[in-house]
A and B are shown apart, each in its own frame.
Chain A
Amino acid sequence: MSAYPGTATLLEELDKKLMVLLRDGRTLIGYLRSVDQFANLVLHNTIERIHVGKEYGDIPRGVFIVRGENVVLLGEIDKDKENDLPLKKVSVDDILDAQRREQEAKQEQERLLAKALKERGLHYIPDLSHDDMF
């Protein structure tokens, strides 16, 4: 860090527990074991954490190799604060249910919106090109 001020490298994050946000909206939490020049990540003991409202659920995933271009951001997890989350942890099934319901609600909203616009003579095309969440 001091050798090249104004620079940063992922090497300092090795063996740390990180939360990685991917472009498709997924959140992974795992230990960063290895990186490379493309910022590909090797995550170990990874869990995928799904957040729905104030609840969350963890799905254990094992080892992940993430292609660097799919990472939006990542950050170190504070182990102390990790235990004091204001969120409520639920089981995987529950959270997947909740997620599905959330998705359905969203789709329902869009459908209503398209319908309403159509009644007013406007044509609503939902953005189908969104590969990324961001």
Chain B
Amino acid sequence: MEDSFFGFNTSLPGLLDEELHDEPGQGLDEEEEEEYDALNDETFGTDAVEGDWEEDHEKLAEITEQSRARCGSYGNDGAERSDEAEHDTGLELEASLAQLVLEDYEDDVIVENGTIGGKLQNHRQESITTAENYSSSAPSGYSVWTPTKHENHLQSTHPITPSILPGKNVVSVEELERGLLSQQHNQHSQALKQQPPLIVPPPPGLGPPAPSSVLRLEDVERDLTANASLPVHLSRGQTQIVQHPDMVLLRNTQNAAAVASLGRGHFPGRLPPPPKAQVLPLGRGQVMLPGGRLVGPSGVHPGLPGIPDLRQLPQQNHRLMGSAPNLLRFIPPHLMVPPGQGQGGKGIPHPAGFPGDNGLLFPNHPLGHFRPGIPHVDQHRPGGQGLYGPRQDRQGAYFSNNRNGGPNTNYQHQNRGAHHHHYNHSNRGGYQSNQEYDEYAGLMTTREKHWLLNIQILQLNTDRPHIDDYYYTVFQSRQPKSEQDRERDRKRDVHRERRDSFRDREPRQDSQPRVYTPAQFENSLGKLQIGSVTAPRKIIDMDVVSTEGLDTVPTSNQRDTKRAKQVLLEIERLYLLLLQIEDLSSTLPGVRESVTEEKPVLIQRIMTSLIQEDRIISVMSIRKGKMLILRLLPHLPATDNGPPQILTLWSRLLRGLVTIGRRDQGSDAVLPRFHPYFHNWVTTLPFAPLLQLVCSMLPAQGEGNTSTPTPTRTTSPVGRNVLSYAFSNKFGVSALASMLSRAEALFPTLDSSQQQDWKGFLSSLFETAAHVASPESLPAPLEPLSTTLASQHFERHECVHIERYALLERIFTRRDSVATAGDKSNENLA
């Protein structure tokens, strides 16, 4: 792994100018074909499929170019921008990758933007927004994707690069590490001679032309020792900046430190020294060489040291504004507090502007205020080594202010309480719990964190909290209320259930077809796979699918299973309708408005489904189905004006009473709860439906839905079955009682034929009752008949023996309480 950096050849090639003229992709291809094809045909070549994103890019290229210059505000909706940038970047990447291989500064070069060898921008006083690699969407303002043209810059970099690449000035990492290692063990003065500090020539805009500013390392060394301005002691991880008239010497002990500590004990010592692939924490727009040579945001710019060259700063103000967090972030490892500190033996004190949590070196005030730090730096600049002393303190103090605002720190404050003996500071400036130095801490700036948090918060925003996040909203609303209120609310909302996307989706189609545009994020390739409430990912629709092959004959068992599943699905569908009905009377905000259909329509839909053949019986066999109908009943009009299906509903229910009743055993029997509704409805019935109703309990001579059946005395087992079962079922006996009372009330109005019909029914009733077991064992009707009413009713049928109707009387007048039962029976007998 040390040999290559992402597959690139990292050894020093002897190539220079001529190769720079090559086709962008050529050099790369030759070397890397077998290992890593960064320029694969799929993406860049002729095989590239013209997908969505490409079209978008092409379309929006012009717009983006113009708009980028115009709007420079962060947070711009720049989906197009990034797309366009990407498209250009594709080509740029080729160029830059080639450039990368050819311009090899020892080993790993991080291509933070695609403009290695790109335009030299340092010297230009561009505002941040017009910088070519500015992307308003990226939190730091700089993006990886820049549309700089490659060819222009080849020439411009020529004067620079060769001058930087004299072989003798460039050392490989191994040499460097060796040097630094030896430095550690030797006296510093000797080490200074041995170690190869690197030269960071000033950027061309400021310093003298590059070639003249490039000195041999040894020369510089001698200069420095002569000036006696060198630090005596460098502790691990420190990087030192020594002021030189023309350039700044950047001594980087980081590698040594890393080597020596083998990862600082974060990992066991097996970790080999941070290889050439060691990535130094750079922000965007920076290219950093492990030797400490820094390249500015414009690309491979050997002269730009970033912070170390402080002359740069005022001119780079704007750039730094945007990239300040990034620029300065790497300072701690490389730019340690001046030697004075080392002497103070403070170990590794807070370097100036150590990034820590928010990763900002200069006082990047949490509110985004950039300015203050820069002037300070200017002030101190001439101070040379004393430079960072005072500044550091200020930064440190300022810094702790910054961190208190971050979301990270809040958590760590709490954390601190919890693990008091582990966390001395809360990761202050990269200090881990054991006071270890984490120099890479704070890579994510506060700004970036806020950016991410904003995205996440955005996803939480909703106009309809009761619908999108029902449980939490209700929970919150209940919290401050008193106990009493909570009780009231609970009772009202007992039937509330979670809304789901199905219901939300449906009404939309009718009103305004809302076009769903998935969220587009900056710098993202292609479209996102986000499911949301309004446009969820494709879900697997619930459908009953047979599991066996088509050629096998489905056995009855499988058919039953299939039928059961279908019933369940139907119940679910009906529930959705029912919930809509219930929502119509909801008090929660926004819920009522979400139902777009009228109540009668919804009721109609439910009823239509329930009326179907045998549907009611299957539905009632399942508890959830029972609850469905139970909850539906209050919404059915209690008068006779209701839909005619109500009659059918009840008829079918009574007819299937045997099955339903049998399934409804146990202490949690739901059927009796149906009775009040039944009773209320029956008391409004005219005679004809009533007759129809009672006939449903008799053996049907043809489905007596429309025609009035003629109840006859029957000894048919079927007819008797329902009736006789009805006696043993609480609901059954209650229903009969209700119907009898209604008939009694209606009796004066009946004509003779109707009366005949009713008598017929009563005869069947008597017949059945005769075979019934002892009446005491039977359940009492929920609305028992008064004795007078009962006797009055039965007496009319003189043909019946008195014992029979006495029995019936007993049955129907019994009350639930045990105490009165005996009295009643005695009373009746008397």
Task: Say whether B440 faces chain A, with CB atoms less than 8 Å apart.
Answer: yes
Of listed B357, B411, B472, residue having the most chain A CB within 10 A: B411
Contact with B along A11-30 (1 / 0, CB 8 A): 11011010000000000000
Distance to closest chain A CB from B501 (angstroms)? 20
B407, B442, B452, B453: the one contacting A15 at CB < 8 Å is: B442
Of residues 43 through 81 on chain A, the ones whose CB sits less than 8 Å from some CB of chain B are: 44-45, 47, 58, 60, 62-63, 79-80
Contacts of A63 in B (CB 8 A): 277, 279
Known: A34-B444, A62-B275. A45 touches B266 (CB 8 A): yes
Contacts of B1 in A (CB 8 A): 62
Cβ–Cβ contact B268 & A12, under 8 A: no
Task: Say whether B521 faces chain A, with CB atoms less than 8 Å apart.
Answer: yes
- Contact stretch, chosen from B455-463, B665-673, B787-795: B455-463
Task: Say whether A36 faces chain B, with CB atoms less than 8 Å apart.
Answer: yes
Cβ–Cβ contact A33 & B456, under 8 A: no
Cβ–Cβ contact A12 & B440, under 8 A: no
Contacts of B441 in A (CB 8 A): 15
A11, A47, A60, A80: the one contacting B407 at CB < 8 Å is: A11
Contacts of A17 in B (CB 8 A): 266
Contact with A along B539-581 (1 / 0, CB 8 A): 0000000000000000000000000000000000000000000
Distance to closest chain B CB from A34 (angstroms)? 5
Contacts of B460 in A (CB 8 A): 4, 7
Task: Say whether B271 faces chain A, with CB atoms less than 8 Å apart.
Answer: yes
Query: What is the interface residue range for chain B against chain A?
Result: 35 or more
Known: A15-B430, A58-B268, A62-B1. A37 touches B456 (CB 8 A): yes
Distance to closest chain B CB from A51 (angstroms)? 16
Cβ–Cβ contact B444 & A58, under 8 A: no
Task: Say whether A89 faces chain B, with CB atoms less than 8 Å apart.
Answer: yes
Task: Say whether B516 faces chain A, with CB atoms less than 8 Å apart.
Answer: no
Task: Say whether B438 faces chain A, with CB atoms less than 8 Å apart.
Answer: yes
Cβ–Cβ contact B266 & A60, under 8 A: no
Contacts of A47 in B (CB 8 A): 267, 271
Of residues 61 through 111 on chain A, the ones whose CB sits less than 8 Å from some CB of chain B are: 62-63, 79-80, 89
Taken together as a complex, chains A and B put the C-alpha atoms of A4 and B472 apart, in Å, by 11
Task: Say whether A1 faces chain B, with CB atoms less than 8 Å apart.
Answer: yes
Of residues 400 through 447 on chain B, the ones whose CB sits less than 8 Å from some CB of chain A are: 407-408, 410-411, 414, 422, 427, 430, 432-434, 438, 440-444
Contacts of A12 in B (CB 8 A): 407-408, 411
Distance to closest chain A CB from B40 (angstroms)? 18
Contacts of A79 in B (CB 8 A): 432-434
Taken together as a complex, chains A and B put the C-alpha atoms of A1 and B410 apart, in Å, by 8
Task: Say whether A6 faces chain B, with CB atoms less than 8 Å apart.
Answer: yes
Interface size (A, Cβ < 8 Å)?
29
Known: A9-B453, A15-B427, A62-B278. A35 touches B266 (CB 8 A): no
Contacts of B357 in A (CB 8 A): 15
Known: A15-B442, A63-B279. A6 touches B456 (CB 8 A): no
Of residues 456 through 491 on chain B, the ones whose CB sits less than 8 Å from some CB of chain A are: 456-457, 460, 472
Contact with A along B240-281 (1 / 0, CB 8 A): 000000000000000000000001001110111001011101
Contacts of A42 in B (CB 8 A): 443
Contact with A along B1-35 (1 / 0, CB 8 A): 10000000000000000000000000000000000
Distance to closest chain B CB from A15 (angstroms)? 5
Contacts of B266 in A (CB 8 A): 17, 31, 45
Closest partner residue, chain A, to B275 (CB atom): A62
Task: Say whether A129 faces chain B, with CB atoms less than 8 Å apart.
Answer: no
Closest partner residue, chain B, to A57 (CB atom): B270
Cβ–Cβ contact B272 & A60, under 8 A: yes
Taken together as a complex, chains A and B put the C-alpha atoms of A14 and B139 apart, in Å, by 17
Distance to closest chain B CB from A105 (angstroms)? 27
Contacts of B263 in A (CB 8 A): 45
Contacts of A2 in B (CB 8 A): 410
Of residues 706 through 751 on chain B, the ones whose CB sits less than 8 Å from some CB of chain A are: none
Cβ–Cβ contact A62 & B444, under 8 A: no
Task: Say whether B311 faces chain A, with CB atoms less than 8 Å apart.
Answer: no
Of listed B266, B357, B410, residue having the most chain A CB within 10 A: B266
Closest partner residue, chain B, to A78 (CB atom): B422
9 A-B pairs with the lowest CB-CB distances in the bound complex, closest first: A33-B443, A15-B441, A37-B455, A34-B444, A60-B271, A12-B411, A63-B279, A11-B449, A62-B277
A residues at B contact (CB < 8 Å) = 1-2, 4, 6-7, 9, 11-12, 14-15, 17, 31, 33-38, 42, 44-45, 47, 58, 60, 62-63, 79-80, 89
13 further A-B contacts with Cβ under 8 Å, apart from A14-B449, A60-B272, are: A11-B408, A14-B444, A31-B438, A33-B443, A34-B448, A35-B444, A45-B263, A47-B271, A58-B268, A58-B270, A60-B271, A62-B275, A79-B434
Could you list 28 examples of A-B contacts with CB < 8 Å? A6-B472, A7-B460, A9-B407, A11-B407, A11-B444, A12-B407, A15-B357, A15-B427, A15-B441, A31-B266, A33-B444, A34-B443, A35-B452, A36-B452, A37-B452, A37-B455, A42-B443, A45-B266, A45-B271, A58-B268, A58-B271, A60-B267, A60-B271, A60-B272, A62-B277, A62-B278, A79-B432, A89-B268
